[in-house]
Amino acid sequence: PLVLGVESSCDETGFGLVSEGVLLGQGLASSASQHADFGGVVPEIAARAHLDAAVPTLHLALEDAGVELGDITHVAVTSGPGLATAVHVGLAAAKAVAWSLDKPLYGVHHLAGHAAADTLEHGPLPERSIVLIVSGGHTSILAVGDLVRDPIEHLGDTLDDAAGEAFDKVARLLGLGYPGGPAISRAAVGGDPTAFRFPRAMLRSGDAPFVFSFSGLKTAVARTVERIERAGESVPVADIAASFEQAVVDVLVTKALRAVRERNLSTLVIVGGVAANARLRAVAQERCDAAGIELRIPPPALCTDNGAMIGAVGDLLVRFGADPSGLRIAADPSAVLHGAQLPLPG
């Protein structure tokens, strides 16, 4: 198969071409800069940008892979979760390609795409693993088997803000702009991660070992900044950014490793936009090495949204023999992750 993956659930327009687990090429456009003034993604602006970017970005992907439109054998597309207006544009583009080529179309869960991104770099997932998804809208610890065959088990999610959302909100209150993750990361360089002891919510919580909460952390950073400003001192942005990062990373890695141990597994996979974070990657590597756990994290460019990861799921579905979703599939903006395909078959 030669699978075209299409992604448009947030502010990235992505097309990727995947065959037999191999990424052949991709095209990516982002409207992030158009949202910067608003401190977050504006759905209507994102949708409009997807519309402008769709055809040129598809052509970039074809060129990058060195294939023709007519070589595509299957189309896979994010049909949820995401911003409804944004998802609709990618869905329309994918339907147009599938219909015009008379090829099967598969709806894909965006978060299964994030997990599948890792297979493009490190090969098939092991029989069972713990997957930590840390992105702009989600923070979940999952027990995962075969991505397309086995149901996905949620061990825990966030009660309030997602990890990426915390980065975005803290960046905003530090005046660092959007997207917040990369901005905080840059600001934290040279900062002292032990300068401020920000709260690690629910770190030792016995009855919710895999549940997260990040809104208190965001408030703690806000209070700290207010206190320093009231005292008429200058805000030590690097120290605050580094200490904030350290608090997030500490909770994420501690809970993820706890899940690996509790389930007697040996592999941890970390995916989603926040997995691009250098401190998270370094701390996770250090603690996994110490615990004898294999750590898999996709390269940073495959952590944030892209079309290749959706193509990777499509390629798995095709090789598994899944039934196509058909041209009538609808967007499902708040889809919960139970399986890779949307809607779930059967």
- What is the spatial distance between Cα 234 and Cα 225, in angstroms, rounded to a whole number? 9
Return the half-sphere exposure (C-beta side, CA atoms, 13 A cut-off) of residue 184. Answer: 31
Cβ distance 304 to 12 under 8 Å? Answer: yes
Cα–Cα distance between 166 and 25 in angstroms, integer?
Answer: 32
Is residue 185 involved in binding ligand ATP (CB under 6 A)? Answer: yes
Task: Tell me if 16 contacts ligand ATP by CB under 6 A.
Answer: no
| Count of residues engaged in binding ligand ATP, rule: CB under 6 A | 25
Collapsed DSSP state (helix, strand, coil) of residue 141: strand
Rule CB under 5 A: say whether 135 interacts with Fe ion.
Answer: yes
Asked if residue 331 binds ligand ATP (CB under 6 A), the reply is no
Count of chain residues binding Fe ion (CB under 5 A): 2
Buried b / exposed e over 267-277, threshold 16 CB at 10 Å, is bbbbbbbbbbb
Q: Known binder of ligand: residue 59?
A: no
Output the furthest CA–CA distance in the chain (Å, rounded).
67
DSSP three-state, residue 269: strand
277 labeled binding residue: yes
Strand, coil or helix: what is 15?
strand
Q: How far is the CB of 112 from Fe ion (least distance, A)?
A: 11
**Cα-based torsion angle of the residue sequence 308, 310, 313, 314 in order, rounded to the nearest 10 degrees:** -100
Three-class SS state of 145: coil
Tell me which of 7, 250, 305, 315 binds Fe ion, using CB under 5 A. 305
User: Of 268-276, 283-291, 323-331, 334-342, which part binds ligand ATP (CB under 6 A)?
Assistant: 268-276
Residue of the chain from 2, 4, 10, 217 that contacts ligand ATP (CB under 6 A): 10
Nearer residue to ligand ATP within complex by CB, 23 or 248: 248
Does residue 161 interact with ligand ATP by CB under 6 A? no
Shortest Å distance, C-beta 14 to Fe ion? 10
Smallest gap from residue 114 Cβ to Fe ion (A): 6
Nearer to Fe ion, 97 or 162 (CB): 162
Residue 165 touches Mg ion, criterion: CB under 5 A:
no
Q: Are 54 and 93 in contact (CB under 8 A)?
A: yes
Is 137 annotated in some ligand binding site? Answer: yes
DSSP, collapsed to helix, strand or coil, labels residue 243 as helix
Span near ligand ATP by CB under 6 A; candidates 13-21, 100-108, 176-184, 234-242: 176-184
Asked if 11 interacts with Mg ion (CB under 5 A), we say yes
**Is 181 known to sit in a ligand binding site?**
yes
Q: How far is the CB of 89 from ligand ATP (least distance, A)?
A: 15
Query: Which tokens in the block code for residue 33?
Result: 């800069």
Q: Which strands sit side by side in the sheet containing 294-296, from one edge to the other?
A: 153-157, 139-144, 129-134, 267-271, 294-296
Binding range to Mg ion, per CB under 5 A, among 4-12, 94-102, 111-119, 327-335: 4-12
Per-residue CA distances from 98 to 1, 9, 64, 195, 243 (Å): 14, 19, 20, 54, 48
80 binds, among ligand ATP, Fe ion, Mg ion, none (CB under 5 to 8 A by kind): none
Radius of gyration of the chain (CA): 20
Question: Residue 8 or residue 79: which is nearer to Mg ion going by CB?
Answer: 8
Query: Which listed residue (118, 239, 305, 315) binds ligand ATP by CB under 6 A?
Result: 305
Distance from C-alpha of 35 to C-alpha of 27, rounded to nearest angstrom: 21
Q: Is 134 labelled as part of a ligand binding site?
A: yes
Q: Kindly state whether residue 250 participates in binding Fe ion, applying the rule CB under 5 A.
A: no
The Cα 230–Cα 333 span in angstroms is 42
- The residue ranges that bind ligand ATP (CB under 6 A) are 9-10, 81-82, 110, 114, 135-138, 164, 167-168, 179-182, 185, 272-274, 276-277, 304-305
- The residue ranges that bind Mg ion (CB under 5 A) are 10-12
- The residue ranges that bind Fe ion (CB under 5 A) are 135, 305
